[in-house]
């Protein structure tokens, strides 16, 4: 698979990563451990070298699965994980105190069965801890050989700039897709200026861009999408116009909607690395196929023109989660 570079310090990863969260957190019933490990190993065999996890996914179980799955080829894989929540629990408050960051790293190293974390993100910006202090703590961990690269997740432009002055930021992880294009306004220009890579999560719009979801779809009780305004029945119905557009392009390109959505992201910048997640092998294979889809400048311009006539209805987060974004 094509490789891409995140940041100015040479973090090389596959053009497509694997978001591992959904294997054990956020999207209904967790995948059985043996199946989850098999899926991660199959992703590696098919060329994916970039794997994303976090202490709060589970909590903790996701890191354990990723660690066990990648142990046989650890040196060839790039593992990203995250700190930032009290007790590693995303339902609790934020905690990016230096002591907490160091404790998380020690625990994550054990769960991931490794001696160094390739990319360590602050999961959400903690308003109670200056970002300079956070970046300085990660810098110490890099100097100690426990972390290789520093990342931020869902951070705003001011925070990114301030952090980058203390410790170069290799990547920002935030939501970006045909379903959510807000980063184009300020975030992407800032990342380009500073030489920071971009790792879009939910590149398939939390599954919406696959075309497999409509207003009649019922999610499991524990599925995160049940509380997302954009996924109300009414809003799913209103937003089908976007899915119809993606489906029409897919027919022309002899591809699937998911592949078009990923190809579009990959075409935006050479330092963008989407991390779609899945629990299904056939979806994994389908997503990898998106790397091979080429969209010409004319095709991209046509897509942009069509998108200007489509209004996306509904917020991407309920308010209590939106309050943690873009600080």
CA distances from 246 to 204, 209, 263, 311 (A): 11, 7, 11, 14
The helix, strand and coil proportions of the chain, stated in percent and rounded to the nearest 5, come to: 45, 15, 40
pLDDT under 50: residue ranges of the chain: none
Q: Which residues are catalytic?
A: 57
pLDDT given at position 204: 98
The helix or strand, by DSSP H or E, that contains position 52, with its residue range, turns out to be strand 50-52
**131-145: buried (b, 16+ CB within 10 Å) or exposed (e) per residue?**
beebbebbeebbeee
Contacts (Cβ under 8 Å, ≥6 apart) of 94: 84, 85, 86, 124, 125, 126, 127, 128, 324
Contacts (Cβ under 8 Å, ≥6 apart) of 202: 175, 177, 179, 180
CA distance 98 to 105: 11
Cβ(253)–Cβ(293) below 8 Å: yes
pLDDT given at position 327: 79
CA distance 30 to 265: 28
CA-closest candidate to residue 121, choices 314, 207, 256, 108: 108
pTM attached to this predicted model: 0.97
CA-closest candidate to residue 26, choices 274, 227, 322: 227
Cβ(149)–Cβ(166) below 8 Å: no
What structural domains does the chain harbor? 3-205+268-293 (3.20.20.100)
In 3-state terms, what secondary structure has residue 191?
helix
């Amino acid at each position: 698979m094509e490789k891409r570079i995140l940041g100015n310090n040479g973090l090389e990863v596959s053009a497509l990563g694997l978001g591992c969260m959904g294997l054990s957190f956020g999207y209904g019933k967790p995948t059985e451990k043996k199946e989850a490990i098999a899926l991660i190993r199959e992703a590696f065999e098919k060329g994916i070298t970039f794997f994303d996890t976090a202490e709060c996914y589970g909590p903790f179980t996701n890191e354990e699965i990723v660690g066990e799955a990648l142990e046989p080829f650890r040196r060839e894989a790039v593992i990203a994980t995250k700190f930032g929540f009290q007790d590693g629990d995303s339902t609790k408050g934020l905690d990016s105190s230096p002591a907490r960051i160091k404790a998380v790293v020690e625990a994550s190293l054990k769960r991931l069965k490794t001696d160094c974390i390739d990319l360590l993100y602050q999961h959400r910006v903690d308003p109670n801890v200056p970002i300079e202090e956070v970046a300085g703590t990660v810098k110490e961990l890099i100097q100690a050989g426990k972390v290789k690269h520093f990342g931020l997740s869902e951070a705003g432009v001011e925070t990114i700039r301030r952090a980058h002055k203390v410790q170069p930021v290799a990547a920002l992880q935030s939501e970006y897709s045909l379903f959510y294009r807000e980063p184009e306004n300020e975030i992407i220009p800032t990342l380009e200026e500073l030489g920071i890579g971009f790792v879009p999560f939910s590149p398939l719009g939390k599954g919406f861009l696959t075309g497999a979801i409509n207003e009649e779809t019922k999610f499991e009780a524990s599925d995160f999408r049940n509380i997302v305004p954009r996924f109300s029945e009414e809003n799913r119905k209103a937003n089908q116009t976007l899915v119809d557009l993606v489906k029409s392009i897919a027919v022309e390109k002899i591809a699937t909607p998911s592949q078009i959505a990923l190809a579009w992201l990959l075409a935006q910048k050479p330092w963008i690395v989407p991390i779609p997640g899945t629990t299904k092998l056939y979806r994994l294979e389908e997503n990898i196929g998106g790397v091979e889809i080429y969209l010409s400048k004319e095709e991209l311009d046509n897509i942009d023109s069509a998108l200007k006539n489509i209004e996306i209805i509904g917020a991407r987060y309920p308010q209590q989660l939106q309050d943690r974004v873009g600080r």
